């Protein structure tokens, strides 16, 4: 049996070291001596097909938009949409050498970055990839040129004051209004400006053309051949692919199986070749361990994605900070983790921060320091009593004497742990006189989170290499990912200073203060990191877990079948 359990403790990365899982599997099954960046390497043959299972249908193709930003759209569009830099499995950023010859910080005053695009980098219609594509994307993201663009989050592109290209279009110069440490994380996912301009102004092309139309174009190794909604996306090689390697496969398919518990059955039956369930369950891991007779391997890691519960501080019952603090105190985080993540992740640390992963520079257990997650119901009742709340007949009355309304607890589909968490949290807060209405569905993000129709929301965030960048996306008052109503100018000021720092270490030291203030706000409760489990047929080469926001599809040009 060839079971690959790769803990990130083996990675020589100064940015983050995560704790490896303790599995219920025997240590004899552990494959050692392989770095997460090179595991499953090989030279594949030409031809064949691979079918990858995904957990939801695609209703929006624009991965940088508020409605298209999810793991499935990222997975399916990564083989199509080029990026300047890519997050690697060791949680470092690496320049995309297929697209760029170089990306160089040429000045610090003002900060200036020069990108040199490869001469042979073209879109699938033969039109060169140029500075026009960088400029178009920048205008959609900087919140100045297109405030109507329904972007997911942009913290960094707004730091760029000017973006210019030379007469060839292959040299692009970004001049920043102030220093920005995370510049390598910019221009991730570029779109064809020459096609966008044929579909209206920037907002129209971004919100409609790029979002609603199945891409008939590509700047990556593959392009869409067909899309059967709710069933299957089929990619074929891009005939104008300019990259150094691949593509090797005749077809790369993504089969939509919304019930993640059925994906392993589909793998066992030969309907799919790869599954990558978000938040893999213990049963799934144990079943995968028993499929060695079918030539099934799997890799497992702690990921850069972390579960959270957000509290709507903008409206409704959760707008009262006393009630928010009481709810967070009543939740038993240890029990929550034990029943939804353990026993196969026994030694994973819980999340005690909303701005850092455990063992990232700057991390501290700020959640525990405030008594959140302790399951201390009596302390929670004391917080409520002091704020004027009363328990009457099993119901909670607010300070005016009115019953606190049933809390709308929403979560996206396809994550078994989130469903379990919702039911457990309902039980933790019941002694406070609180009831919940559990809300989910295929459009949960739009129906509940983006529209603000929730009181509590379970989901996950993807941490970034530069924590200040992610913090800027979540906690600034005017950013779209500020779903939970953070409204503290001091937090914004500190994040700005952290983003302008000269090193990760300096940035982390500054950002720690903002983490303290955000935790005091009691509108975001960190739970734990999601486990990843990449389960696949052993004949597939160069397929490897990439336990961050990009996932395994970061290198599809290299995927292929062993000869």
| Cα 317 from Cα 311, distance rounded (Å) | 10
Which residues have CB under 8 Å from 188's CB, separation 6+?
Answer: 83, 84, 85, 86
111-117 vs 160-165, strand pairing mode: unpaired
Q: What average pLDDT is seen over the chain?
A: 91
- Contact, 284 vs 53, CB < 8 A? no
Closest CA to 539 of 248, 232, 290, 283: 248
The pLDDT of residue 188 is: 94
**CA–CA distance from 58 to each of 201, 220, 306, 520 (Å)?**
24, 19, 23, 37
**411: which 2 tokens?**
């979560």
Which fold would CATH assign to domain 306-530? Answer: Dipeptide-binding Protein; domain 3 (3.10.105)
| Cα 563 from Cα 561, distance rounded (Å) | 6
Helix ranges (H only) for 483-532 are 489-499, 504-521
| Cα 215 from Cα 197, distance rounded (Å) | 15
Q: Which residues pair with 408 in a beta bridge?
A: 437
Helix ranges (H only) for 95-178 are 131-141
Taking domain 3-62+221-303+531-561, whether its CATH number is 3.40.190.10 is answered by yes
Per-residue pLDDT of 22-53, as tens digits, reads 333 433 333 334 578 888 999 999 999 999 99
560-561 vs 540-541, strand pairing mode: antiparallel
Could you say which DSSP state residue 48 is in?
-
| Cα 512 from Cα 494, distance rounded (Å) | 9
- Contact, 80 vs 224, CB < 8 A? yes
**CA–CA distance from 344 to each of 30, 32, 291, 323, 417 (Å)?**
14, 19, 18, 34, 14
Give 556's pLDDT tier (boundaries 50, 70, 90): very high
Q: Which of 10-14, 86-90, 182-186, 211-215 has the lowest mean pLDDT?
A: 10-14
Per-residue pLDDT of 470-526, as tens digits, reads 999 999 988 888 999 999 999 999 999 999 999 999 999 999 999 999 999 999 999
**What are the structural domain ranges in the chain?**
3-62+221-303+531-561, 85-210, 306-530
Taking domain 85-210, whether its CATH number is 3.90.76.10 is answered by yes
**488: which 2 tokens?**
């503290």
**291: which 2 tokens?**
């499929």
- Contact, 91 vs 548, CB < 8 A? yes
Give 444's pLDDT tier (boundaries 50, 70, 90): confident
The pLDDT of residue 345 is: 62
| Cα 269 from Cα 133, distance rounded (Å) | 43
Closest CA to 2 of 37, 39, 36, 50: 39
Closest CA to 3 of 35, 36, 28, 38: 28
Q: Which of 12-16, 276-280, 309-313 has the lowest mean pLDDT?
A: 12-16
Which residues have CB under 8 Å from 377's CB, separation 6+?
Answer: 330, 431, 432
Q: Which of 239-243, 290-294, 358-362, 415-419 has the lowest mean pLDDT?
A: 415-419
Per-residue pLDDT of 337-371, as tens digits, reads 988 876 556 667 789 999 999 989 999 999 999 99
**CA–CA distance from 342 to each of 28, 251, 351 (Å)?**
21, 38, 14
Per-residue pLDDT of 381-402, as tens digits, reads 999 999 999 999 999 999 999 9
* Percentage, residues of the chain above pLDDT 90: 78
The pLDDT of residue 20 is: 38
Closest CA to 413 of 448, 387, 370: 448
| Cα 315 from Cα 302, distance rounded (Å) | 34
202 alpha carbon, distance to own chain's centre: 25
Across the chain, how many H-helices and E-strands are there? 16, 21
The pLDDT of residue 403 is: 98
Per-residue pLDDT of 133-190, as tens digits, reads 999 999 999 999 999 999 987 789 999 999 999 999 999 999 999 999 999 999 999 9
Phi/psi of residue 400, each to 5°? -90, -5
CA angle in degrees (0–180, nearest 5) for 84-88-92: 85
| CA dihedral angle for residue 273, residue 276, residue 277, residue 282, rounded to 10 degrees | 90
Q: Is 31 exposed, middle or buried (0-12, 13-18, 19+ CB in 10 A)?
A: middle
3-class secondary structure for 386-420?
A: HCCCEEECCEEECCCCCECCCEEEECCCCCHHHHH
Phi/psi of residue 480, each to 5°? -70, -25
Q: Is 195 exposed, middle or buried (0-12, 13-18, 19+ CB in 10 A)?
A: buried
Taking every pair of Cα atoms in the chain, the longest distance, rounded to a whole number of angstroms, is: 75
* CB crowding 303-336: b at 16 or more within 10 Å, else e: bbbbbbbbbbbeebbbebbbbbbbbbbbbbbeeb
**254: which 2 tokens?**
């993504």
Query: What Rg value do the Cα atoms of the chain yield, rounded?
Result: 23
**33: which 2 tokens?**
């001596």
Query: Which DSSP helix (H) or strand (E) runs through 339?
Result: helix 333-340
Q: Coil, helix or strand for 75?
A: helix
What's the helix, strand, coil split of the chain in %, to 5?
Answer: 30, 25, 45
């Amino acid at each position: 049996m060839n079971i690959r359990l790769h803990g990130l403790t083996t990675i020589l990365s100064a940015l983050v070291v995560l704790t490896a899982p303790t599995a219920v599997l025997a240590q004899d099954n552990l494959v050692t001596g392989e770095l997460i960046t090179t595991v499953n390497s090989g030279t594949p043959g030409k031809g064949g097909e691979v079918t990858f299972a995904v957990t939801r249908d695609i209703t929006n193709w624009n991965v940088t938009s508020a409605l298209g930003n999810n793991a499935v759209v990222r997975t399916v569009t990564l083989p199509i949409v080029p990026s300047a830099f890519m997050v690697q499995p060791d949680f470092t950023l690496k320049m995309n050498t297929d697209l760029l010859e170089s990306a160089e910080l040429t000045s610090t005053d003002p900060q200036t970055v020069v990108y040199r695009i490869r001469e042979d980098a073209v879109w699938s219609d033969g039109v060169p990839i140029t500075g026009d594509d960088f400029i178009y994307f920048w205008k959609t993201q900087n919140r100045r040129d297109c405030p109507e663009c329904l972007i997911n989050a942009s913290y960094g592109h707004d730091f760029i004051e000017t973006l210019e290209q030379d007469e060839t279009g292959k040299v692009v110069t970004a001049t920043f209004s102030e220093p920005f440490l995370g510049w390598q994380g910019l221009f991730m996912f570029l779109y064809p400006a020459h096609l966008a301009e044929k579909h209206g102004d920037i907002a129209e092309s971004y919100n409609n053309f790029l979002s609603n139309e199945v891409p008939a174009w590509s700047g990556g190794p593959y392009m869409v051949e067909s899309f059967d909604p709710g069933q299957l996306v089929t990619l074929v090689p891009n005939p104008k692919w300019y990259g150094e390697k691949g593509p090797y496969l005749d077809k790369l398919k993504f089969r939509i199986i919304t019930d993640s518990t059925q994906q392993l059955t589909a793998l066992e039956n030969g309907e799919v070749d790869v599954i990558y369930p978000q938040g893999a369950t213990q049963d799934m891991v144990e079943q995968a361990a028993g499929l060695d007779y079918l030539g099934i391997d799997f890799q497992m890691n702690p990921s850069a994605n972390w579960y959270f519960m957000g509290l709507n501080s903008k409206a409704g019952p959760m707008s009262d900070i006393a009630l928010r603090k009481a709810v967070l105190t009543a939740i038993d985080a240890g029990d929550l983790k034990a029943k939804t993540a353990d026993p196969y992740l026994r030694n994973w640390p819980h999340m005690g921060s909303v701005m850092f992963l455990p063992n990232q520079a700057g991390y501290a257990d700020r959640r525990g320091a405030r008594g959140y997650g302790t399951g201390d119901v009596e302390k929670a009742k004391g917080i409520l009593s002091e704020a004027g709340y009363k328990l009457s007949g099993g119901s909670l009355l607010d300070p005016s004497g009115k019953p606190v309304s049933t809390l709308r607890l929403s979560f996206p589909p396809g994550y078994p742990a989130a469903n379990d968490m919702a039911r457990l949290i309902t039980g933790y807060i019941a002694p406070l006189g609180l009831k919940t209405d559990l809300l989910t569905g295929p459009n949960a993000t739009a129906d509940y989170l983006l529209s603000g129709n929730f009181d509590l929301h379970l989901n996950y965030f993807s941490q970034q290499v530069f924590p200040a960048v992610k913090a800027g996306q979540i906690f600034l008052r005017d950013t779209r990912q500020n779903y939970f109503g953070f409204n503290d100018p001091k937090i914004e000021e500190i994040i700005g200073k952290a983003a302008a720092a000269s090193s990760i270490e300096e940035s982390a030291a500054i950002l720690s203060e903002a983490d303290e203030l955000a935790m005091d706000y009691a509108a975001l409760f960190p739970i734990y990191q999601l486990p990843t489990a990449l389960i696949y047929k052993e004949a597939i080469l160069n397929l490897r877990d990439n336990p961050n926001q990009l996932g395994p599809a970061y290198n599809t040009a290299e995927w292929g079948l062993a000869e």
